[in-house]
Structure 1
């Protein structure tokens, strides 16, 4: 049996990075239907990679250290990871017939468009592919909702973030949680690994029961399923926010150092509100224990107002969908 030609794609980053690359991955799938598309991404993302629907194989890659490519050289390699040079060199080590990537003189690669800092992450990778003659649809972000072990319809407050710059204060999260619970929401609090204490602090200050703390109990697959079946998500600028966009779950996203014009929900989606009081985008993962000043300008009242608006938009959209089917 003839082995199909290989298409190797690099995106060795986190949840939000994977979700924002979905339109590009699906564009590659359509452009190379006979190829075996292998996505090089962290092993822990495997449950989410399966939801994309465009990937044939998942190659676990945790960093940009060159590793031997044991299969025959890929016919095409695609850098959806960054501007280079490290990511370019990692793919070059597989000896691809062709490399689709941004131009990077440091890596000796001139066959590609220029990198633009002030560009939405979804648009960035679709523009890269378009330059190389591969069409893609930046709006093609939707993922199918996975089954969940948790009861649906919860209002999820995701209180964690990799950097303190993107972490809204716990007392403000608690104020929002307390008000939503009083209004009849079933509030649960999530976070990433190691953020169980932060989530417990928010829940305790809001008067929520211990069972409402789901941080440390979900994993990537469980978090995705919880958000997919949620009533509402309130989160900082983190992977949970991108999952809400992909699943169509109403969301309010709180931005600090980075502008939502670069990492926020795409325009024209009324179920998703981004709140930002910054003036310019800054790196969002710099080590810091303190929230960014733009994040501190966001008040609980502002978040609650946005939550009411996105839920109203969700009801209007749902009613419109039902009417259209009659």
Structure 2
């Protein structure tokens, strides 16, 4: 092992590395968590090409964008890796892996969970050295670290890349909008006549969604304080955005599908504050430097909320029993704790977070 770093031991660097594969083919927030790990790889192997094995959205986002990703290879849909997108043509994992082996990767990193499904893919890339995480049901890699459920995601993946000598250079995900991102955001939003704040009321998992009427109350409070309020969402979140706008009872600006991902990043970068459920846009906002107030289900807060408080206020819900049937869903967020297990309901588990706590946190951050 090399000398310890800020986060602990660092493995020996692999000599003569020209090309590095990194498997991480999931959603926006998941990707934001590995940005510090990618920066560590860039610092440790400055002359190497970093190739992300990702999803179609990664390829679109990183095209002609400076940062720690040089190129994206889109991984075909596969169990435990990613599901196919709408109208996505069929593609063969075997064909993908054959083409990937022709890249002659020197390093292949598995940064895609515990490894039951992802370690076999990384092992088939033909890299000189493989490294990453390993849960109990996953095959080993050349260098591996035990996957432990209770760990902040940023630290988890920094420890993983440390296996190949990449010491942490930061624990804070950072993403800089491009000039093109900012130009698109300006074209859509126009100049701000007042300081802007953004609310993002959607989340992929409905159990993480704070009620729309409470977002509406926050929107009303911040509008009354003199802020221009944007309500952002994807096209599938149109309904919840409409509910927030109606509940606000004051003029707010819905932005549903009007901004590309890069333009959304630029929008958030220019906001005085972003208030959101635990979601990809919340983590994007933090990465572009916006102060944030995030509403978290407690299990997700352990793994996903930033530990920094100068510009961020994560607020936890402690609900662990289904609000519909009363089943103890603790194993859903604490897999090693007793309980009845999962239930079929997907009602919100974060309704116990009061409006006043979110508004107070927002005003505290806005006051500087």
Looking at secondary structure, tell me which structure has more strand per residue: 2
Q: Which residue of 2 aligns with 1:137?
A: 169
Instruction: Give 1:298 deviation, angstroms.
Output: 0.7
Instruction: Give 1:279 deviation, angstroms.
Output: 7.4
Equivalents in 2 of 1:195, 1:43: separation in Å? 21
Instruction: Give 1:105 deviation, angstroms.
Output: 6.0
Equivalents in 2 of 1:18, 1:263: separation in Å? 12
The verdict on how the C-alpha distance between 1:270 and 1:62 changes in structure 2, with shifts beyond 3 A counting, is farther
Alignment of 1:70-81 (within 5 A): 70=99, 71-81=102-112
TM-score with structure 2 setting the length: 0.76
Equivalents in 1 of 2:126, 2:247: separation in Å? 55
Instruction: Give 1:22 deviation, angstroms.
Output: 0.6
1:97 to 122, 128, 141: 128
Alignment of 1:251-262 (within 5 A): 251-262=292-303
Deviations 1:162-200 (A, max 9, x none): 011011111111111112111111011112231111101
Equivalents in 1 of 2:225, 2:21: separation in Å? 49
Deviations 1:118-172 (A, max 9, x none): 1100000111122333212342422223312334542111010001101111111
Q: Does 1:304 align with 2:359?
A: yes
More deviation, 60-69/283-292: 283-292
2:312 to 267, 272, 284: 272
8 Å contact kept, 1:258–1:282: no
8 Å contact kept, 2:114–2:138: no
Point out where structure 2 has 5 or more consecutive residues left out of the alignment.
Answer: 1-16, 80-92, 321-329, 334-341
Q: Which residue of 2 aligns with 1:316?
A: none
Equivalents in 2 of 1:47, 1:175: separation in Å? 36
RMSD between superposed Cα atoms in Å: 2.5
SS of the residue aligned with 1:101?
A: strand
Alignment of 1:277-292 (within 5 A): 277-278=317-318, 283=332, 288-292=345-349
More deviation, 274-283/231-240: 274-283
Equivalents in 2 of 1:286, 1:28: separation in Å? 41
Counting matched residue pairs gives: 306
TM-score with structure 1 setting the length: 0.85
Point out where structure 1 has 5 or more consecutive residues left out of the alignment.
Answer: 314-326
1:35 to 48, 52, 71: 48
2:205 to 153, 163, 173: 163
SS of the residue aligned with 1:276?
A: strand
Q: Does 1:202 align with 2:234?
A: no
More deviation, 159-168/272-281: 272-281
Q: Does 1:56 align with 2:70?
A: yes
8 Å contact kept, 2:120–2:139: no
